[in-house]
Amino acid sequence: MAKSDILGESLWDAYSNKVTTLMNNPQHQGEIFEAEAEERGNKLIVADFGAESCGDAVRLYWEIDPKTDKIVNSKFKSFGCGTAIASSDVMTELCIDKTVQEAVKITNIDVEMALRDTPDVPAVPPQKMHCSVMAYDVIKKAAGLYMGVDAESFEEEIIVCECARVSLTTLQEVIKLNDLTTVEQITDYTKAGGFCKSCIKPGGHEDREYYLVDILRDTRKEMDEEKMKAAADASAAGESKFEDMTLVQQIKAVDAIIDESIRQFLVMDGGDMEIIDIKTTEENVDIYIRYLGACNGCSSSSTGTLYAIESTLKEKLSSNIRVLPI
């Protein structure tokens, strides 16, 4: 069946080729029966998990060599969408030939990354990212059944969203991997905050230790600091002048400076700004910006504010920079 027949033409590019291939042709779907596992001297574990957040469910089969705790064979049954089938298939693949102790370290991020065609491009559209979250829980449930302990004893992650079972580490990684900037985007990608909403910000029906608004703020700050450090290291090593960067690198560098030193002051007055284009000539690097909100039409936007923006960028990136509002 063609990719377009499954997803519709509008979603053609939203799924990786690995995902659509495994939707039609999963490699590990099926069952393992106790009698055949025992015949080979192995132990069979069957674990079920259902995601209340979307209605999908998965049954995971592990055939384990009790002498080594190694998962010698694994199968799954998925009761859900095509993305859940593909995610479950990759999860099962990742379990095979690992010990039970190694398998419990597999995360939903590992599953989603394994589904990508290229490392920098998400495997599925944002609204389907949550399908890989089931791996996190069903693996720990299977391990708990094998070792005779509660699955929660393997819980090393801080769960921020109880409804969708999304951890702090997952949220931080998804924000970084996909350059997310809003809570709405986080919800699209992970389903965190999409149900009871208590984890979005203080004031919900249940107090939380971590909230999405704070995680987003802190992670974005960390990302900006990392970009600034990378730019500073490159400059100190003489590796890269601002003028020699690619357009994308230049925009990211300018964005990092604006986020660190400028945007907060604009936002305090009800305004903001965005970069429209950067053009490099023999003499200058012209950065074209657009003022937003209260800054648009403000008298100081072409005098004091413009001078402050340009001076900061000159100091931190290049003395050849000119800032031109449009």
Residues annotated as catalytic are: 54, 131
Buried b (16+ CB within 10 A) or exposed e, 16-37: bebbbebbeebebeeebeeeeb
- Give the whole-angstrom CA distance, residue 174 versus residue 168: 10
- Amino acid of residue 316: K
- Give the whole-angstrom CA distance, residue 20 versus residue 22: 5
- Give the whole-angstrom CA distance, residue 99 versus residue 303: 65
List Cα–Cα distances, 122 to 134, 181, 186, in angstroms.
18, 16, 14
Quote the tokens at residue 135. 């791996």
Residue 221 CB partners (closer than 8 Å, separation 6+): none
For residue 280, report the phi and psi dihedrals to the nearest 5 degrees: -105, 125
